[in-house]
Each structure stands twice: as structure tokens, then as C-alpha cells.
């Protein structure tokens, strides 16, 4: 069952569970978009396929707060906010090592479409984030991240390229333990309601699992 955080005639805000894709992919595994469309069809007795606009994404292993648009008009307006920088996302991550207190990370990131991996490369697209260290224990640092751009695998690559890979990141952490879960969580979203223009902020608690729970 997907946790519904907020819903009105225009928006659907939910908590994405870990390890499910946001939309259908080659794995053919059940995806979040399909689950939510089925929820809308059942909840409102919709005869055909329910519309639900996907305006942003989270990597498959990452959980956290997401917003979907229930009309194409709202999807267009939310996408415009994303392009104009009015759509704010806050993440928490646990990285390996005692990272410096805070910083602005700026890189150019290039994605290999064949391998679905990303690297720092001068031919890539601009990627920028600001982070603050909010905890340190057992050679792990808890960081709060404000994304300025939303590149694929951005957080994971920007930290790993500086020697602070995310705990549990099987793609970019060479020392990752076999059965560990990536310690990256989309904790908060803020944006203007696409119809009423009201400022909306949705925040959820960090997961009660290792390694997030060692910082309580």
C-alpha cells in the first residue's frame, strides 16, 4: 500500500517505497505510476485509464516524497516550476567518511545511455548541489542536501567522485556491502500549487533503518 501524503483535484503527493521503479522499465516489475493510476481508478470509479503526470523522478532504490499531477495542465505548470527553479527538493544521505562541514558541489556530469552510469566529464551537463553535515558517527556522515539541478544519479556521483560514496550504493561505492540498502532519502518537497499558487511544503521523517537511525 502506497502512503498518500496529500491529495486534491489537482495533485497527488505520496511516499515512494524503496526498490520499486517510478515508471515501467525493462525489468517489468510493478512500478509506482501504475500502482497510483490503479488507485485513482478504484477510488473514483474511473472507466478508462486514469491520467497521472510524472514531473520528476527518484532512482529505483531511493525512497521519499514525490508529487504527481492529476491533470495535464498541472503537469505543465509543475514542470515549468522545475525548469525555473521554483521546485525545491531536500534529500538526506549517509556518506562514508568524515566529510567537511558544508559545501557547494559543482560538476559537469555525463550519462552513458548504454550502461546507465554517470561520471564527471567536461562534456557533461552542469550539476550543482549544496550540502550541510548534520551528524557524524562510526565513520559515517549524515548530510542534508539541497539540489540546485536534478541530473540523473547526481547526488551519488558528486559525493563518490570526492571520495565520500553513499552508504549502500551498489553502483558508485566500490566498498558497498552485498545486501546493504542505499542511504539516500527524498525528505522534503516545496513548490507553489499549480492552480491556487499557494506555497506547499511536504516533509516526511527519515527511515527508521540503518544507517539513518544511528543519528537519532
**Residues ≥6 apart with Cβ < 8 Å to 103:** 130, 131
Burial bucket for residue 150 (CB in 10 Å: 0-12, 13-18, 19+): middle
Task: Please report, for residues 56, 103, 131, 183, the alpha-carbon distance to residue 144 in angstroms, rounded to integers and kept in the order given.
Answer: 20, 11, 5, 12
Q: How many CA atoms lie within 13 A of 40 on its CB side?
A: 24
Question: φ and ψ at 32, to 5 degrees?
Answer: -65, -45
Whole-model pTM: value is 0.94
pLDDT at 26: 79
Is it true that domain 3-215 has CATH number 3.30.2350.10? Answer: yes
Yes or no: say if 145 and 129 are a contact pair by the CB < 8 Å rule: yes
Domain-by-domain residue ranges, the chain? Answer: 3-215
Q: How many CB atoms lie within 10 A of CB 24?
A: 13
Angstrom distance (rounded) from CA 59 to CA 12: 19
Which single residue is written with the C-alpha cell 521519499? Answer: 64
- What totals of helices (H) and strands (E) does the chain contain, helices first? 3, 11
pLDDT at 199: 97
Q: pLDDT of the chain along its 216 residues, tens only?
A: 899 999 999 999 999 999 999 998 878 889 999 999 999 999 998 888 899 999 999 999 999 999 999 999 999 999 999 999 899 999 999 999 999 989 999 999 999 988 989 999 999 999 999 999 999 999 999 999 999 998 999 999 999 999 999 999 999 999 999 999 999 999 999 999 999 999 999 999 999 999 999 998
Yes or no: say if 32 and 23 are a contact pair by the CB < 8 Å rule: yes
138 is catalytic: no
Maximum alpha-carbon separation in the chain: 55
Yes or no: say if 166 and 173 are a contact pair by the CB < 8 Å rule: yes
pLDDT at 68: 98
Catalytic residue among 8, 29, 49, 59: 59
Yes or no: say if 193 and 200 are a contact pair by the CB < 8 Å rule: yes
Amino acid at each position: 500500500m502506497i502512503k498518500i501524503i496529500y491529495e486534491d483535484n489537482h495533485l497527488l503527493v505520496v511516499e515512494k517505497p524503496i526498490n520499486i521503479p517510478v515508471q515501467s522499465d525493462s525489468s517489468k516489475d510493478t512500478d509506482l505510476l501504475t500502482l497510483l493510476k490503479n488507485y485513482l481508478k478504484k477510488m473514483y470509479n474511473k472507466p478508462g485509464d486514469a491520467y497521472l503526470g510524472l514531473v520528476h523522478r527518484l532512482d529505483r532504490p531511493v525512497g521519499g516524497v514525490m508529487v504527481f499531477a492529476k491533470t495535464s495542465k498541472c503537469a505543465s505548470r509543475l514542470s515549468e516550476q522545475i525548469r525555473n527553479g521554483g521546485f525545491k527538493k531536500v534529500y538526506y544521505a549517509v556518506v562514508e567518511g568524515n566529510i567537511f562541514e558544508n559545501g557547494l558541489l559543482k560538476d559537469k556530469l555525463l550519462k552513458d545511455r548504454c550502461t546507465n552510469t554517470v561520471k564527471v566529464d567536461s562534456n557533461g551537463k552542469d550539476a550543482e548541489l549544496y550540502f550541510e553535515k548534520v551528524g557524524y558517527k562510526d565513520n559515517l556522515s549524515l548530510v542534508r542536501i539541497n539540489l540546485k539541478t536534478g541530473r540523473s544519479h547526481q547526488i551519488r556521483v558528486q559525493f563518490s567522485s570526492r571520495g565520500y560514496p553513499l552508504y549502500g550504493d551498489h553502483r558508485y561505492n566500490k566498498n558497498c556491502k552485498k545486501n546493504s540498502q542505499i542511504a539516500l532519502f527524498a525528505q522534503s518537497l516545496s513548490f507553489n500549487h499549480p492552480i491556487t499558487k499557494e506555497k506547499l511544503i511536504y516533509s516526511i521523517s527519515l527511515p527508521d533503518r540503518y544507517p539513518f537511525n544511528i543519528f537519532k
